[in-house]
Structure 1
């Protein structure tokens, strides 16, 4: 077993962060639709969360915002002329489409891709499959630019395999790592990969959409060369989806040998746990931490995003640390559960509450904002170094945000042609800091 570290690649929140209410099944997105957002504060909050992990001694990466507005979408929708003409016509004739073109949802990099570390794959390379995000229009536009970003960061066929996104069809609906958990004894050891899906291919469901299919999960596992005996496919409970858990990471998170989940996370909890225990046999002893409905009602779990937290092994700490949104501290049931959990002798020994309110108001907690990538020392050295964070780089990004981002943005402001120029300039300056100018 070689040394490996879990690197969190956070999405740098873009200058067009707004509350467009585009995401069906996301209760926070719907509740705050049309409100005024603060892109500057949103990016600052995200960067300070990164700083917390850097100061803790963890390896922290960042992925830049995607180009916005997406003029290709607007041109394909029939708008023509100059950029100013396109924006004016879209604002007048299709304001909902303009919000789609400006969506900053790529900041939730848990949906960027599914990642399998080299310890798990048949060819010994790190595999990444960008998610097609085909269920929601605004997210379905992301994967071409996300793929280009991942290719720039993880270049070189010797160590990395960046796959194409799955076919853009509902049977292959794929939401990336938000429905995927890797469990292991140590990050560099062989592990078990848990894929959670909401429906079978061709199956229709009433109510909120089930965004991940089993077919998509199986296709990713196949492409990554995973052992069938170390891959588990479990169905997310319909009740959780209808309650607002549009991704499984709203009700479940795992790290190392620990799975932290709500009682209502899976359709068949006993079956899922038994399958994980079989798959982990000979590798590690699974430590399930199930939160009962009686202690934390499902509605509280979803409103507080207790499970949309980062579960991390901090250096020199024997037990795992849960980096949770401050809303979980402000919700009585989740606060009580966290207090009791850390007072016990289970695998989670501390909870660190962080302020990512701007993201939370759009339905994304600390776990949404990061893509976990387990990397060996060699792979770390082979990836693009400009996206690996230290405090100096975080300070430089904060300076760009303070200089170029607005502190007030409403959906109506998207019609301002000057705003499109602001977004382009801000992104170009961020890319220069990260030495990724080829993505401009």
Structure 2
């Protein structure tokens, strides 16, 4: 039976703005308060989806959240009509309004952790929505995320959905941005690699000093239990706290994996030799030949990796067994990173080609190609059970492009978020989107 790794990219929402909300995300903070272009951001994302579809990869779409999140503002004490809630929040607590308008759900690498059926005890694909409780603007995402995933992967014979972990610091969970799966073939049992920043209960684990470590060991362990993963199919590794303090807020900013290959920076992990040895041993037991490409710090410094998002790239397997690396334009603009990539493809190793995409709107807010996609490994029968409305086709690309051009603004500033008309525009757009993607009622304004 054929198997596929499907990339479900987040569709950028109509309130895409540079709020600078993510402490520890250097790009997000450095571009705070600048004017954004939601239309351009969404079209850039759609162009990447279409390009991968055109190259023969199975590509899906994951819908954005309803923003502004009026319900979140009401829970914080702002009352009246929806328009009055927005007006009061803008007057009394503008940072809360900005948070309620965040379009960060576009980075669906944080939406959930996914375990393929080949790894799980019950033979189903398991999804656990991430609680994202480190940041308020992201912690309000998981209820809608769960409904959207449930509408996309609805067949209980093939798919199992778990609620987000308890929203407390001990179980901080950032989803697939800290999770990678290695395997010989997408349809065979693999090894799931969970990377955490700290332990909530064991002080022996070193912690970063400047920026928060968002993922806990205990959260990763809980997700592995929920998904029915065996000890033989799991490796837990701690991220290097020193690189977290340099702006590596998720593991996917310093490492990326696919198939039997891990592409990582020299400073990505603590106890790197032990981590690589455990991955090698467990993959070997499953018939896979683990490989790693370590990028030396004297060729690419951590600062260069963070600024270029070299590792926040997509590593994709082609039919001939070679791998393609999808990187943002910022990699080509960085001489040291680009020189390294040229040497990488010339080396005759598994990465045979690098393709560059302009994702400036996303990059300026702190997310690159890997942030924009949630990977789901599916067997042929499971892919057939996915809601077909969310699988990218030439017709869907055309429809979504027209939809964006109809509903999205071409400029958005912080002051624009106080306009109640923006809420009406967003709801009109999203109501139409659920019909395009055949999702049913998934947004609060459609349910309540």
Is the aligned partner of 1:342 residue 2:345?
yes
Which of 260-269 and 33-42 deviates more? 260-269
Distance 2:85 2:431 in 1: 22
TM-align CA RMSD: 1.0
Is the aligned partner of 1:293 residue 2:292?
no
* Partners of 1:56 and 1:314 within 8 A in 2: no
Q: Secondary structure at the match of 2:245?
A: helix
Structural mapping, 1:10-159, within 5 Å: 10-159=9-158
State the partner residue of 1:386: 389
Is the aligned partner of 1:240 residue 2:243?
yes
Structural mapping, 1:153-172, within 5 Å: 153-172=152-171
Distance 1:123 1:387 in 2: 25
Task: Give aligned pairs, total.
Answer: 438
State the partner residue of 1:278: 281
Structural mapping, 1:411-422, within 5 Å: 411-422=414-425
Distance 1:67 1:312 in 2: 31
Pick aligned residue for 1:375 from 364, 374, 378: 378
Please list the CA deviations of residues 177-202 of structure 1 after superposition, one character each: whole Å capped at 9, or x if unmatched: 00000001111111011000000014
State the partner residue of 2:260: 257
How far residue 314 of structure 1 moved from its aligned partner, in angstroms, is 2.6
Distance 2:41 2:408 in 1: 10
Please list the CA deviations of residues 244-284 of structure 1 after superposition, one character each: whole Å capped at 9, or x if unmatched: 01000000000000000001110111111011011112321
State the partner residue of 2:365: 362
State the partner residue of 1:410: 413
Please list the CA deviations of residues 125-170 of structure 1 after superposition, one character each: whole Å capped at 9, or x if unmatched: 0001100001011000000000011111111221100111101110
With the length of structure 2 as denominator, give the TM-score of the two structures.
Answer: 0.96
Distance 1:377 1:185 in 2: 17
Distance 2:119 2:439 in 1: 29
Q: Secondary structure at the match of 1:278?
A: helix
Pick aligned residue for 1:211 from 199, 205, 214: 214
How far residue 205 of structure 1 moved from its aligned partner, in angstroms, is 4.8
* Partners of 2:209 and 2:245 within 8 A in 1: no
Distance 1:205 1:58 in 2: 38
How far residue 117 of structure 1 moved from its aligned partner, in angstroms, is 0.3
Distance 1:215 1:3 in 2: 34
* Partners of 2:208 and 2:242 within 8 A in 1: no
Is the aligned partner of 1:305 residue 2:309?
yes
* Partners of 1:428 and 1:437 within 8 A in 2: no
Distance 2:288 2:169 in 1: 36
With the length of structure 1 as denominator, give the TM-score of the two structures.
Answer: 0.98
* Partners of 1:287 and 1:347 within 8 A in 2: no
State the partner residue of 1:196: 195
In structure 1, the gaps of 5 or more residues are none
Pick aligned residue for 2:355 from 331, 346, 352: 352
Which of 209-218 and 150-159 deviates more? 150-159
In structure 2, the gaps of 5 or more residues are none
State the partner residue of 1:333: 336
The runs of at least 4 consecutive aligned structure 1 residues that moved more than 6 Å come to none
